[in-house]
Chain A
Amino acid sequence: GENVEQHPSTLSVQEGDSAVIKCTYSDSASNYFPWYKQELGKGPQLIIDIRSNVGEKKDQRIAVTLNKTAKHFSLHITETQPEDSAVYFCAASIEGDMRFGAGTRLTVKP
């Protein structure tokens, strides 16, 4: 089945800096790649997603890139703010079966 690896497991940045989280997947049939943000005591919330026919997508300070050949995708957060502090999960989906990365705990220091 699909295997998703996510790095780094923890990331600490200064407010205003950029943060990059990377994921790799194993099954080339995966065609949907969402990113979720999970705050303490809450369920994961979708922040951005990308489909396999697109290489890059941007939404304000958040962007995601996908390299299907290398089977990896990345989340980029620019101008980080303290409220960006949370755990971020990447995922890869095949036919509705979604597999998640282990998560990255992002801390943005004011």
Chain B
Amino acid sequence: AQKITQTQPGMFVQEKEAVTLDCTYDTSDPSYGLFWYKQPSSGEMIFLIYQGSYDQQNATEGRYSLNFQKARKSANLVISASQLGDSAMYFCAMREGLRLTGGGNKLTFGTGTQLKVEL
């Protein structure tokens, strides 16, 4: 089974509008972390936002917020006031079995959503 599912291969949004990018996950581990990364056409992966499985509140970072619905196992990214520069590929990722120290804790990525912001 897919651990991370992003069902939207592509999304279009008008400038200044808000957009929600979907992400559902599958894990039996009670301790996990969810990440969103942005990948512009240049290729670098830019960390956007993090949500821990035990966090009581939804994470927010500037124009990015994470709609964390634990019972539904969803972690949708909301981008408010979209800008042309937001056009990029967006990846949802999960890290399971969090430990305080040590190696491992690898990330599993979804297939990504290509976001295009239009005038």
Question: Is the pairing of A and B real?
Answer: no
Binding site for B on A (CB under 8 A): none
Residues of B within 8 A of A (CB): none
